[in-house]
Amino acid sequence: DLYLGDVCSEHFSQLSESSVFAILKYEERSCPEKNVLNALIGWIVSQTTLDSYTKEKMLSLVDLVMISRGDLLKVVRKTSLFEDKAIFDALEEQFDLQGHPVEDVNVALAKNGGKLIAGEPKDHNSSCLRDPPHSYYDQSGYTFNKLGQRVTVELSKEYVINKIGFLLWDKDDRSYSYTLECSLDGITWSTVLDCREMGCKSMQTIFFRPKRMKFISVMGTRNTYNGDSQRQNFHIVNFSATLTTPRINSEMEPIGL
């Protein structure tokens, strides 16, 4: 997958058919889908005996929804590899996934349809999906779960997201470790960020390439607090999931790690 981020066509064209299928079927690939398509087109051109069925099967594994509107219309359409219906279906699905306006809107908030399906608010006004302002204290204002258990948010529908943020409880000098994952079905999870070996404090802001998701999970793996039973828990004050502008911002540095 990392190889696709800097595609070298002469090397990619040497891959076997099974290797190309493996890359196309790899659900956790994080490189831009446009790069995947460009690499695939180069591979197809280099194959002199490729049958039409295999070609169509490979092209069907390219997720057109994850290619920008401009590229769909100005680049993908001109390749003549996809029917206009497939391109316009992708455009329609982009609109359905993202709605209007969704850019820079926190779709995880309860008022926007987000649900906390794993994890427990400390009291009736402590859900991490509540509206700001987010007041929090020793015994209120946060959602928690035991270390090794998920705090999971279910969005109202599938969204394309490229930024997730959450505030870790920070009224003392403790730090936390965690893994951040996403899923389309709540069963099969993809890792967005692995911070099990890090000491994380306060606000966590994670940028990544746009990715479809309906479920988002944070699993605490360590809490350095040495006091009462709360040392066995992971605490989140607030939570956000957005499609930010500009879209491609995976080069931005995470905050709070």
DSSP 111-163: GGT-EEEESEESSTT--TTSPSP---BTTBS-EEEETTSEEEEEEEEEEEEEE
Looking at residue 89, its pLDDT comes to 86
The pTM of the full predicted model, rounded to 2 decimals, is: 0.69
Q: Is the pLDDT of residue 100 over 60?
A: no
pLDDT of residue 14: 79
Query: Kind and range of the H or E element at 157?
Result: strand 150-168
Distances (CA, A) of 228 to 135, 142, 232, 233: 22, 17, 9, 10
Condensed to tens digits (0 to 9), the pLDDT of residues 168-190 reads: 999 999 999 999 999 999 999 99
Q: Is residue 133's pLDDT more than 90?
A: no
Q: Is the peptide bond before 246 cis (omega within 30 degrees of 0)?
A: yes
Rounded to the nearest integer, the mean pLDDT of the chain is 85
For 51-99, write each residue's pLDDT tens digit.
999 999 999 999 888 888 888 998 999 999 999 999 988 888 777 655 4
Averaged pLDDT for residues 114-131 = 93
- DSSP letter assigned to residue 154: E
Say whether pLDDT at 124 is over 90. Answer: no
Higher pLDDT, 211 or 175: 175
pLDDT in tens, 213-238: 999 999 999 999 887 777 899 999 99
Average pLDDT over residues 196-204: 94
pLDDT at residue 3 above 50?
Answer: no
For residue 189, give the DSSP letter: -
Confidence tier at 102 by pLDDT (50, 70, 90): low
